[in-house]
Amino acid sequence: MSDIFRSSAHIHTSFCDGKNTPEEMVLRAIELGFVSLGFSGHGNSVYDPVCMSKENELLYRQEVLRLQDVYADRLEIILGIEHEAIAPYPDFPYAFMIESVHSILKDGKQYYIDYDFDHMVEAAEGCGDVYKYCEKYFQTCEKAYRDTPAQIAGHFDLVTKFNERHPVIDETDPRYLEPAMAALEAGVKKGLVFEINTGAIARGYRTTPYPAPVFLKRLKELGARVMVNSDCHDAAYLACSYEEARQYLLACGFDSVVRLRRHGLEEIQL
Ligand SMILES: [Zn+2]
Ligand SMILES: [Zn+2]
């Protein structure tokens, strides 16, 4: 791993769809020499069974805050949440929030974005075609970014999760790029930090992080801030592909990123 990031602000645990307990994640982070770790359990949502129930969310909060105290001298532990764009905002205060779209609503029907390729085909049919599906996804992002109190935009082009193995979206097509750029610009205008998300590499869906270079280059042009996150569901992949992410950022013109610390965002040079 590249030892310059030594942080991830996108961590899932056994309180939602992660494999490990929060404490196992903390111990792995300490082993890797991390300076900070931001937990971002899937927030309460009726739209997705992997999300935490209200009761579970309370237990999650309690446990992360306990660990924050226990490991205070070894790791900065930060309590956050990943908000599902189409669900209500959390009822409890969080030190940070990631705004993500994992589902869209079309004609009263809910479609998952990142479940599997068959779901994607069904969603594209429900929306009319694959480009209308992408447009609906990015319109949902755009609205979410405008309204959100979050600080971070999660896995911006998640809609391409299956596109390496099943290339059905031409990512240079204006029908894809135009709604995507509109969403991206809304997020930048809001001041959101865009994450370079290596989670789909860890899970074997992709060989490159989100977002694609075309978006990273636009983010650079617009002066947006970016951060590297592992969207970790398994402690073995806590710093997955961080060195590749660094190279990727350099190739897209970035010379610095931010990382989440307890006092806020810290800029680090690449
Ligand atoms: Zn997510
Ligand atoms: Zn996540």
The number of the ligand nearest the C-alpha atom of 231 reads: 2
DSSP 37: E
Measure 232 CA to ligand 2 centroid, in angstroms. 7
Bridge-based pairing of strands 96-100 and 152-153 is parallel
Q: Contact 211/227 with Cβ under 8 angstroms?
A: no
Token representation of residue 90: 């959390």
The number of the ligand nearest the C-alpha atom of 99 reads: 1
**Model-level pTM?**
0.97
Measure 258 CA to ligand 1 centroid, in angstroms. 19
Candidate CATH numbers 1.10.3720.10, 3.20.20.140, 2.60.120.430, 1.20.1250.20; the one for domain 7-269:
3.20.20.140
Q: Which residues surround ligand 1, an ion (CB under 5 A)?
A: 100, 154
Residues ≥6 apart with Cβ < 8 Å to 143: 85
The per-residue pLDDT for range 71-106, each reduced to its tens digit, is 999 999 999 999 999 999 999 999 999 999 999 999
The number of the ligand nearest the C-alpha atom of 48 reads: 1
Measure 18 CA to ligand 2 centroid, in angstroms. 9
The number of the ligand nearest the C-alpha atom of 41 reads: 2
The per-residue pLDDT for range 153-202, each reduced to its tens digit, is 999 999 999 999 999 999 999 999 999 999 999 999 999 999 999 999 99
The per-residue pLDDT for range 13-51, each reduced to its tens digit, is 999 999 999 999 999 999 999 999 999 999 988 888 889
Measure 11 CA to ligand 2 centroid, in angstroms. 7
Q: Contact 252/217 with Cβ under 8 angstroms?
A: yes
Measured CA distances, 264 to 3, 9, 220, 259, 267 (Å): 20, 12, 21, 8, 10
The number of the ligand nearest the C-alpha atom of 8 reads: 2
How does the average pLDDT of the chain come out, rounded? 96
Residues 239, 81: Cα–Cα separation, whole Å:
19
Closest CA to 142 of 196, 88, 179: 179
